[in-house]
Each structure stands twice: as C-alpha cells, then as structure tokens.
Structure 1
Amino acid sequence: MQHAKALIDNRNPAVQIGLTLAAAALITLGAKIQVPFWPVPMTLQTLATLLIAAALGPRLGLAAMGAYVAAGMAGLPVFAGSPARGMGLAYLAGPTTGFLIGMALAMVVTGVLARAQGWAMTAVALVAGTVAIYVPGLMWLSAFVPADQLLTVGVAPFILGDMVKIVLGTMLLQAAQRLRG
C-alpha cells in the first residue's frame, strides 16, 4: 500500500507537522470513544493507530504517537479515561502504559508492513500491529494483574473487537487505495 506521500508531498516540514498533529488528534479522538473495562478500556484508539501507521508510514506514525504521548505527559486529557483515571505522569504509572508503548511499536511494525500491496498484506500488517500492541501491553499489565488472570483481563475481552477493527481497517485502507487509483 502506498503511504500518504502519494497524495501529499510530505517532504515539506509544514505538511509533516500538520499530518503529525492531525494524526495525534485522531489518536486522541479514538481514545475517547470507549467501552469501559477495568483495568484497560476498549477504545477505537488501536484502530486509529493502525490506520495512521498504514497511511502515513512508520516515521510520521511514530511522530504522531510521540506528539500524543507528549501531550498526555504535559497534562492534557488525551488518554483514555483521563482525567478521571489520572493525568500526566500519574496516568502513565497506571496499567495502560504498556499498551501505549505497544502502539508506538505498532506504528513502526504496521507502517513498514503496510508498504506491500494488496488486501492480504494490509490485513497482515494490521494483525502484526495488533500483536505489537498486546506484547508490551501485557508485559506492563502483569504488574497490576495476577498472572493467572492476565489473559482473561488483558486479552479475552478485546479479541472480538480487535478482529472487527482489523477487518474494518483493512476495508477502509483498501477503499482509500482504490480511490487513489
């Protein structure tokens, strides 16, 4: 899949900054659309992350995630459940930080794999990105949840939603590719 640079000359620093900030805003919007679970809420943030990575590539995707996390660290209520679940560094001391780390990793993994053409490779890129979110997420969550409950709390409630996000993301990215011609 071709990245956004096919549509926009993203070599221009002003365009890069604009795309990065717009993508960080999309990540924030995705974080705010949620189904409350404990200790990790189900959000559309992962879908936003995967779409951004596939569309903008690993470099701008990672920059967007960095801008998002920086805004949260500065105390802006961008994280899922903030301000109720904490703000700034206090939020990052909680159970969801590993998933934020995983989203940064997913920007790279998905962004690189999504360069390949075709719906199957797009789906593979989104699945790999989802796995990249889960691995550090579960590692971090293990400090908050007993080991025998980790998969029950950190994976099981999210599998169906993540499968739907992967299918939806694949369809959206393929539709965008067809529109680009």
Structure 2
Amino acid sequence: MWWPTRRKGFAVVRRAVVLAAFGVALLAVSAKVNLPLPHVPMTLQTLVVLMIGAVYGWRLGVVTIIAYLAVGALGLPVFAGPVGGLKPLTGATAGFLSGFVVAAFITGWFSERGWDRSMVRLFVAMAIGHIVIMAMGFAWLAYGMKLGAEKAWLVGVMPFLAGALVKNTLGAILVPVLRGMVDRRYR
C-alpha cells in the first residue's frame, strides 16, 4: 500500500516519514481522547491503529506504531493521560500497546490483499486486529500483572467490547474515504 514501490529515492523516504509522523501525531491525539477506567483507559487509539494498518499497509503501519511507542518510551507524553516513558510499556497497558504492533500488521496484511475494498471484509480484518489487541492486553493483565483471568477479563476486555464494535464500524466507513484523499494527494 504505502511502502515505496513506484517512486524512487528521497521522495519515497520523505513521503514515508511524513505519513509515519502524521500517524504518530494522530495516535498521540487519540490517546488523549479517553475515558479513565480503573486499570486501562478507553481511548480512540485502537481505531487509529487499525486505520493506520488498513491505509498504510503492514510495513509502514508497523513502522508507524513502533515509532509511536519509541516516542513514548523516550518520555514524550503521547500515551493515555499525561504520561510518557517506560511505565505504560511495562505497566497495565503494556499488553495492549504491544498488541498495537501486531494488530497493525494483521490489518495491513489483509488490506494489502484487497480486504479494504469491501466494508464487510474490512470490518472483519479490523475485528481480528481488535481481538489480538484485547487478547494480548488480557494475557498481560492476567499473567504479567498477576490479576488473574477473571479480573483481567472484567477490567481489560469486557468494558471495551461495545466500543470495539463501534470503532470497527467507524473504521470500515472512514478507511475508504481516507484512502481516496491520500491516493489523490500522493499520485
């Protein structure tokens, strides 16, 4: 999708850097739109992660998510709440944040195989991405944070299920619109 294929040289690199920087900024903003919950806040990040994967493709999507995590690890307050540094990457949100990378890969991989051309298939691809994020977050809460499976389910999965459906629907509608805008701009 958005990995350099047709253009050569500096223009390709510049385009990838601009798109990745835009994705990092959008992720930082989406982290600030949050509903604080006891262990893990509900944010718009998963929607943005999945849309980045679908629009950018798996290569640039993964690079963008890793860049976002690196910017946060360096201390810039890009994560939910006024935080940056290593705490979010080692605390309760660690599983979810690492799940972002895998979800961007999966959604981008499906998108590159044409799943982004159908709203239903795109919804399914994004649902798989959401499942991965929640599964990794659940596993980290249950075993890494030692909350146990029942509590991890109650605080790390249940509150996010309805939101995931809404975000998938919104993403399946917005991705074709964004792709049209970006395709026209970068031809």
What band does the TM-score fall into relative to the shorter chain? Answer: 0.7 to 0.9
Asked if 2 retains the 8 angstrom alpha-carbon contact of 1:114 and 1:121, the reply is: no
The reply on whether 1:75 has 2:72 as its aligned counterpart is no
CA positional deviation for 1:137 = 1.1
1:27-66 equivalent positions in 2, closer than 5 A: 27-66=27-66
Asked if 2 retains the 8 angstrom alpha-carbon contact of 1:53 and 1:108, the reply is: yes
Q: TM-score, normalised by structure 2?
A: 0.85
Aligned pair partner of 1:91 in 70, 88, 92: 88
Structure 1 CA distance for aligned equivalents of residues 122 and 16 of structure 2: 23
Structure 2 CA distance for aligned equivalents of residues 91 and 158 of structure 1: 18
Structure 1 regions of 5+ residues with no counterpart? none
Residue equivalent to 2:21:
21
- The share of aligned pairs that are identical, in percent, is 36
Asked if 2 retains the 8 angstrom alpha-carbon contact of 1:9 and 1:15, the reply is: no
Q: For residue 75 of structure 1, give the secondary structure of its aligned residue in structure 2.
A: coil
The structure showing larger relative contact order (alpha-carbon pairs under 8 Å, at least 6 residues apart) is 1
The reply on whether 1:105 has 2:102 as its aligned counterpart is yes
Asked if 2 retains the 8 angstrom alpha-carbon contact of 1:24 and 1:68, the reply is: yes
Label 1:176 to 1:22 Cα distance change in 2 as closer, same or farther (>3 A): closer
Structure 1 residues 27-80: Cα deviation after superposition (integer angstroms, max 9, x where no partner)? 111111101112000000000101111000111111111111111111111111
Q: For residue 57 of structure 2, give the secondary structure of its aligned residue in structure 1.
A: helix
Asked if 1 retains the 8 angstrom alpha-carbon contact of 2:53 and 2:61, the reply is: yes
1:96-175 equivalent positions in 2, closer than 5 A: 96-115=93-112, 116=114, 117-142=117-142, 143-144=144-145, 145-175=147-177
Structure 2 CA distance for aligned equivalents of residues 148 and 91 of structure 1: 22
Structure 2 CA distance for aligned equivalents of residues 175 and 14 of structure 1: 23
Give the partner amino acid of 1:101: S
> What is the alpha-carbon root mean square deviation over aligned residues?
2.2
Structure 1 CA distance for aligned equivalents of residues 110 and 124 of structure 2: 8
Structure 2 regions of 5+ residues with no counterpart? none
Structure 2 CA distance for aligned equivalents of residues 74 and 178 of structure 1: 34
CA positional deviation for 1:4 = 4.8
Asked if 2 retains the 8 angstrom alpha-carbon contact of 1:33 and 1:43, the reply is: yes
Structure 2 CA distance for aligned equivalents of residues 19 and 178 of structure 1: 15
Structure 1 CA distance for aligned equivalents of residues 89 and 179 of structure 2: 36
Structure 2 CA distance for aligned equivalents of residues 21 and 81 of structure 1: 20
Count of residues in Structure 1 that have an aligned counterpart in Structure 2: 175
